[in-house]
Structure 1
Amino acid sequence: MDRNLSTQLAAIATGVGVGVAIGWLLRAKIHHSLAKHLGNKSKEMAEHAFDEIMGAECKLVIVVRSDLKMGKGKACAQSSHAAVMAYEQIRNKKPILNLWRASGQRKVVVKVDTEEELLEVEREARKAGLVTSLIRDAGHTQVSPGSRTCVGVGPGPTQLVDKVTGHLKLY
């Protein structure tokens, strides 16, 4: 075999080997970060979460109460509060943050008819291991102080977020 060809083949084999090793190290690091993020939840849940997000897109869904009859500007402000709070909660959770950024930081706004529905969505999201950001209004303008106006679900794996919010209509 030509010496130049064998040098090239050795370089390719080394590159593939290094690539596989880096891939396994990154997988282990992301898996560890997820397990840490999920806290006391089981190892199986961490593995399931890892499988859910690898290669998946992420999104943030903001659920707004329509029964409060907020004006468009008020609903936008409340949704912005939910988005900022959601970001604050994940800014140190690099795997989810990076996947959300890579997915274009997608945000979708949907609606529910009652406070009870809003709180049920939040409970289901928490049970699924998703980040939630429940917003209570200060009451300076259109709604009573302490009114729960919206909840952010995620950012999280689109498939998992959709299990909780996919049935809701766009705002």
Structure 2
Amino acid sequence: MGDKLLDTTQIINGLAVMISFFVGYKYALKRGEACAKIDDTPSTETQEEAGGAAAAVSDKIYSGFNDNFKMVLVVRNDLKMGKGKIAAQCSHGAVGAYQRAVTRTPRLLRAWENCGCAKIAVRVESEAELLAIKRAAEQKQLNTCLIRDAGRTQIEPNSKTVLAVGPASAADIDRVTGHLKLL
């Protein structure tokens, strides 16, 4: 009797795994289709209407299954922040970059959302290197958000801790951050 119960349990578990696989596969196909359906209507908004120089950030139009979108969080390693502090600072950066992208690069934001909202954490060893990455990203008209800490816990007030770059095309971001090591 115990063997039959075990066999029935194994069959049920196997069916559950198969159903989960097919549901996940179907969901992945739908997400892939969403990546291909990015709005290709040109923006008619001028820089002045969108807020001046800040709106100069490119809102390129992307479409197709081969496009990959991400946000990169560049973390200062020299500050020796704890894991929780890094997580909090990266969260501030991701939220800040998202908020800026809502008005500056809405089509890129939608593309990133439709393709899974990938976020990658990399490291730099100094404030100077962090600022160099920021300048390079801005020269390529990528969305950025620089986070400064309030200094209430582990590090000095006004320390530049994290730079969020994107969301944008992975290829565009990699031109600026591709050489950096993962955190």
Q: TM-score, normalised by structure 1?
A: 0.73
Residue 94 (structure 1) shift: 2.7
Deviation at 1:34, TM superposition (A): 8.5
Distance 1:149 1:58, change over 3 A: same
Return closer, same or farther for 1:35/1:110 CA change in 2, 3 Å cut-off: farther
Distance in 2, matches of 1:94 and 1:167, equals: 27
* Count of matched residue positions in the alignment of Structure 1 and Structure 2: 138
2-side partners of 1:79 and 1:155: how far apart? 14
| Conservation of the 8 A alpha-carbon contact between 2:58 and 2:141 | no
Q: Percent identity?
A: 43
Partner of 1:75: 86
CA offsets per residue over residues 47-85 of structure 1, 9 Å max, x none?
A: 9x33xx333221000000000000000011000000000
Q: Secondary structure at the match of 1:69?
A: coil
Shift of 1:143: 0.5
Cα distance in 1, alignment partners of residues 68 and 76 from structure 2? 26
**How big is the alpha-carbon RMSD for the aligned residues of Structure 1 and Structure 2?**
2.5
**Contact 2:122/2:180 (8 A) holds in 1:** yes
Equivalent residue runs for 1:1-171 within 5 Å: 27=40, 29=41, 31-32=42-43, 49-50=60-61, 53-55=62-64, 56-92=67-103, 93-171=105-183
Structure 2 stretches of 5 or more lacking a match?
A: 1-38
Inter-partner Cα distance in structure 1 for 2:46 and 2:131: 26
Instruction: Supply the distance in 1 between the matched residues of 2:121 and 2:43 (Cα, whole angstroms).
Output: 32
Would you say the 8 A contact 1:61–1:153 is kept in 2?
yes
Q: Distance in 2 between matches of 1:57 and 1:127?
A: 21
Task: List structure 1 runs of 4+ shifted beyond 3 angstroms.
Answer: 33-37
- Could you tell me which runs of 5 or more consecutive residues in structure 1 were left unpaired when the two chains were aligned: 1-25
